[in-house]
Amino acid sequence: MNIAENLQKVREQIAGAAQAAGRRSEEIVLVGASKMNDAAACRAAIAAGIDALGENRVQEMLEKLEQGAYEGAPLHFIGHLQRNKVRQVVGRVALIQSVGSLALLEEIDRRAAQLGIVQRILLEVNIGEEPSKSGFASGELFAGAERALELPHVEVQGLMAIPPEAETPHGNLHYFQKVARLYVDIGRDLYDNRFVYLSMGMSGDFRDAIAAGANMVRVGSAIFGARKYV
């Protein structure tokens, strides 16, 4: 496993997908999903020029922060965040991508107020309406985005989605297109076109996500190799 080579290959695929969609590859932010990969792997990805790293478990992130795993790149939180762990994340990451409920949104605002900061976030949409997944249902998303406008210590910079496991090649393209429509509509109607990031696409489907309009992709195994679950 060579992280620099893998990263290079992913960049080339991103460039191809961007070009096919008539966009510039520099518009696409590559976030390395580094869960279950150690600090050395994170540093290797940063040395190879990854744009940001994303973690999805609070404990693992805190341990790797202590080890200086993320020095030189912005850190994002991309996993399911429990309200009782909000204080361990707010202020420590550049972007919380996975804000999927009003309760979580309000808790983040409260904690950011205590710290005297504005926490940048994305709203997560449960686009496949899967009961097992977190995120706002599409029908609740406008209300969530509206509520966030009243909270002075959060800044919504866009949307994030994890569609269902695809059963056929390109099986998630229609989900990506749905999220892209929500991104455009909410960004225009509520946020004066100030949205910046549409985060969708992982190792298996980031090209389709880019085709649908993603400008931030979260790629794990294609960069770090398959995760070994023990």
Ligand X SMILES: *Cc1c(COP(=O)(O)O)cnc(C)c1O
User: Contact with ligand X (CB under 6 A): which of 65, 106, 221, 225?
Assistant: 221
What is the C-alpha to C-alpha distance for residues 138 and 133, in angstroms, rounded to an integer? 13
Instruction: Select the span of 7-15, 110-118, 131-139, 198-206 touching ligand X (CB under 6 A).
Output: 198-206
Residue nearest to ligand X (CB): 220
What are residue 160's DSSP bridge partners? 124, 199
What is the C-alpha to C-alpha distance for residues 125 and 137, in angstroms, rounded to an integer? 6
Element (H, E) at 131: none
CB of 68: closest distance to ligand X in angstroms? Answer: 22
CB of 113: closest distance to ligand X in angstroms? Answer: 27
CB of 152: closest distance to ligand X in angstroms? Answer: 27
Say whether residue 218 binds ligand X (CB under 6 A).
yes
Site map 42..61 versus ligand X, x via CB under 6 A: --------------x-----
Residues listed for the chain:
230
User: Contact with ligand X (CB under 6 A): which of 14, 30, 73, 162?
Assistant: 162
Element (H, E) at 213: none
Q: Which is nearer to ligand X, 148 or 160 (CB)?
A: 160
Say whether residue 3 binds ligand X (CB under 6 A).
no
149's torsion region: left (phi>0), alpha (psi -120 to 50) or beta?
Answer: alpha
DSSP string, 35-86: TT--HHHHHHHHHTT-SEEEE--HHHHHHHHHTTTTTTS-EEE-S---GGGH
CB of 139: closest distance to ligand X in angstroms? Answer: 22
Kindly list the residues in this chain that would bind ligand X in the complex (CB under 6 A).
Answer: 33, 35, 56, 78-79, 162, 202-204, 218-222
